[in-house]
Amino acid sequence: MKFPVKKLLINFGGYTFWSLLILWGAAALLLKGCESLCYHEVLTTEYSPDGELVAEIYIGDCGGATTDFYGGVNVKSNSGDLVAERLFTFTGRPEETGLQVRWTSDEELVISISDLYKARQINPRGKYGPGLKTSYEFRHEAN
């Protein structure tokens, strides 16, 4: 009796391909459904002296009691266009980091913190940020 190895391998490859494709599709739909569990809220805004740019301190959360809050600083133009994204990101709430944001000129933003352990990312240029100058300060605050 001749064993059809070639046919068996072709069938196995086809079944594997379609099975993995279906699993991938189901996983994509499941992950898409989980997106709604996250929220993003702007807590405070600081306008530049000329009012053309606004620094937004935002906070977000993606789950229940086992996940910590996260947040960051974005800069937008007064028209709502994003100028710089994630100039500074942190874990927890802004008050836990001692986060302060202030404008020293129309194009220069100073981000000041007092707890470096909560900092996640410091990104002076942001994602876009041409023409925007960003400075960072660490404040040592006595307890």
Confidence of residue 23 (pLDDT cuts 50, 70, 90): very high
Confidence of residue 45 (pLDDT cuts 50, 70, 90): very high
CA nearest to 113, candidates 132, 96, 91, 133? 96
Listed in sequence order, the residues at least 6 apart from 120 whose beta carbon sits closer than 8 Å to its beta carbon are: 70, 89, 90, 91
CB atoms inside a 10 Å sphere around CB 92: 17
How is the chain split into domains, by residue range?
Answer: 5-35, 38-138
Taking 60 as the threshold, does the pLDDT of residue 36 lie above it?
no
Taking 90 as the threshold, does the pLDDT of residue 7 lie above it?
no
Q: What is the pTM of this model?
A: 0.66
Please give the pLDDT value at position 9: 77
Instruction: Say how far apart CA 140 and CA 143 lie, in whole Å.
Output: 10
Please give the pLDDT value at position 24: 92
